[in-house]
Amino acid sequence: MTGAMLFQTLANGLMLAFLYMLIAIGLTLIFGIMNIVNFAHGELLMLGAFAAFYFFGMWGVNYFATLLIAMMLVGFLGILIERGLLRHFQAKPLGSVIVTVGLLMVLQTAATLVFGPLDKPVPSAFHGIARFLGVVITHQRLATIVFSVALIGGLYLFLQRTKTGRAMRATTQDNEAAVLQGIDVGRIRSLGMFVGCALAAAAGVFMGPIFYINPFMGLPPLLKAFAVVIIGGLGSIPGAIVGGLIIGFIESFGSTFVDPLMASVMSFAILILVLVIRPSGLWGHAE
């Protein structure tokens, strides 16, 4: 194993880590606010990817604009889902699982019927390759890392510095106390759903040029995101960040030095290990 190979794997791992972070943060945010695990989250990523295919790939819209459009569209879809469906299943874990699973089926099948089941390519937005430290990384992947950092950083600032952000954090900690504080929890829920879904869509837009897209692409990242969220602790954003790094690097190193299947199995094993040792996750609130 050469140093170059190590750095290459690290670089790939970093990109995967940020993609998983985007998905996991959305999942954990939605859970923190609404106590609902959104099994349809992967499908929202898929819709973001298809938005990129059509707006950027087919209709030539600027990549940044596409990113924004995708995030808006999927975000608003999320609000519709939240108000129309999820609202009825507040703090009903079994029911919400079933309902979001049903949603998964609906969205994935609808996408298959509308877009067709075949793989579709999304063109790169950034051409060229960067080389440093023996690492070869496409500009597209580099951009993905940079934008992900920007989005996550933006979210951090929003949650820490703005009044609405603090209200959201308060709601995550204690729903009832938030209501007593005069926080409009209903609005926060919709906003949280919007943000979570928008992040998933962003991940989809980033994944587009790097991986082929198809209506079934939502499930594998969702499973990885579940691992991230459980390791980090459901409801914790720092946990999602750390968990994302862990799973991203496991997958990168596992795929490069063993094989992709073992990487998935290893992620799963780590997941079980964490749950056994610390059931609420690394950052989760012990209840």
Partner 1 sequence: MRNKRSLPTRLAWLVLVLVLFLVPLLTTRPYYLHILIMAGIGVTLALGMYVIMNTGQLSLGHAAFMGIGGYTSVLLVTRAGLSFWLTLPLAGIGAAIVAIAFGYIVLRMKGIYFSIVTFAFAEICRLIWERWKGLFGGVTGLSNIPRPDPITVPGLLEIQFDSRVPYYYLILIIASVAAVIVHGLQRSRTGMAFSAIQSADHLAASLGINILWYKVLAFAIGAFFAGLAGSFYAHYFIYISPEFFTVWQSIHALAYAVIGGLANPIGPVIGGFVLTIVPEFMRHWTGFEPLFFGAILILVMLLLPDGIISLPRRMSSLVVGFRSKGGRSNTQRTGPGTEAVGVRPRVDAGDDNIHQG
Q: Give the nearer residue to partner 1 in terms of CB position, either 58 or 105.
A: 105
* CA separation for the pair 135, 10 (Å, rounded): 9
In the window 107-126, what residues touch partner 1 (CB under 8 A)?
108-110, 112-113
Candidate list 94, 118, 180, 277; residue touching partner 1; CB under 8 A: 94
Out of 10, 97, 145, 210, the residue judged to bind partner 1 by CB under 8 A: 97
| Phi, psi (deg, nearest 5) at residue 14 | -65, -45
- What is the nearest approach in angstroms of partner 1 to the Cβ of residue 209? 26
Candidates 98-106, 152-160, 183-191, 241-249: pick the segment binding partner 1 (CB under 8 A): 98-106
What's 104-123 look like in SS3?
Answer: HHHHHHHHHHHHCCCCECCC
CB of 93 to partner 1, least distance (A): 5
Q: Does 176 bind partner 1 (CB under 8 A)?
A: no
Tell whether residue 282 is a contact of partner 1 (CB under 8 A).
no
CA angle 273, 262, 20 (to 5 degrees): 70
CB of 268 to partner 1, least distance (A): 5
Is residue 95 involved in binding partner 1 (CB under 8 A)? yes
Give the one residue of 68, 72, 145, 219 binding partner 1; rule: CB under 8 A.
219
85 counts as binding partner 1 under rule CB under 8 A:
yes
CA-CA distance, 208 to 13, in Å (whole number)? 17
- Select from 68-76, 87-95, 126-134, 148-156 the region that touches partner 1 (CB under 8 A): 87-95
Residues that bind partner 1 (CB under 8 A): 37, 39, 85, 88-89, 91-95, 97-99, 101-106, 108-110, 112-113, 219, 223, 226-227, 230, 234, 261, 264-265, 268, 271-272, 275-276, 279, 287
